[in-house]
Amino acid sequence: MDSQNLSGPSTGSRVDATELTVPELVAEVYASAPADERGQLLEQLLRPLGVLSLVAIADGVFAKIRFRSGWQDLRVRPDDLRSVRTADVIALVDHAQQVSVETVDSLAQMLVASPTLSGTAAAALLVAALAQRARRRGQAIPGLDGDAASPPPTR
């Protein structure tokens, strides 16, 4: 994994998180996630993408992962993660949301359910950004508080 961070060009300090795009926030979450959760995040983003998309993104790094694990049973292995850089994750998310914005929005459910990631600032910002984006489209992200798909409160 490339240790590249999202830092300002001259100061080396981190960019204000409120200025980050959804792909950059996903990359921040990815960079701070343990290997198994990195793999789950990539699997979710890779599923809706076809062969041509995967070959075109990040010099084909994701196509290699997909073909190695098999098309029907996608599993990202820990050794696959070594070849994925931060810039690759940004490119993947950017493309995935063009193909299926719902796939990227569904990352919110995964983050909220993860005890490891749900407490991170990047994850909180990403969940908020995805929920806001879904509301602007007149949709809700199932499983998040306050949406129509959440279970009713128990009495």
> Over the stretch 15-48, which tens digit does the pLDDT of each residue have?
444 567 999 999 999 999 999 999 999 999 998 8
Find tokens 């569904």 and name the residue. Answer: 106
Judged against a pLDDT cut of 60, whether residue 148 lies above it is answered with no
Cβ atoms within 10 Å of 149's Cβ, excluding its own? 11
Q: What per-residue confidence (pLDDT) applies to 40?
A: 93
Q: Is residue 76 part of a domain?
A: yes
Find tokens 């990202």 and name the residue. Answer: 76
**Number of domains forming the structure of the chain:** 1
Q: Is residue 59 part of a domain?
A: yes
Domain that holds residue 120: 18-136
Query: Which residues lie closer than 8 Å to 150 by C-beta, 6 or more apart?
Result: 142, 143, 144
Q: Is residue 144 part of a domain?
A: no
Q: What per-residue confidence (pLDDT) applies to 143?
A: 66
Q: Is residue 55 part of a domain?
A: yes
Q: Is residue 81 part of a domain?
A: yes
Residue range 97-111: mean pLDDT, rounded: 90
The whole-model pTM stands at 0.77
Q: Is residue 142 part of a domain?
A: no
What are the C-alpha distances in Å from 78 to residues 11, 45, 83, 84, 96? Answer: 33, 16, 10, 11, 22
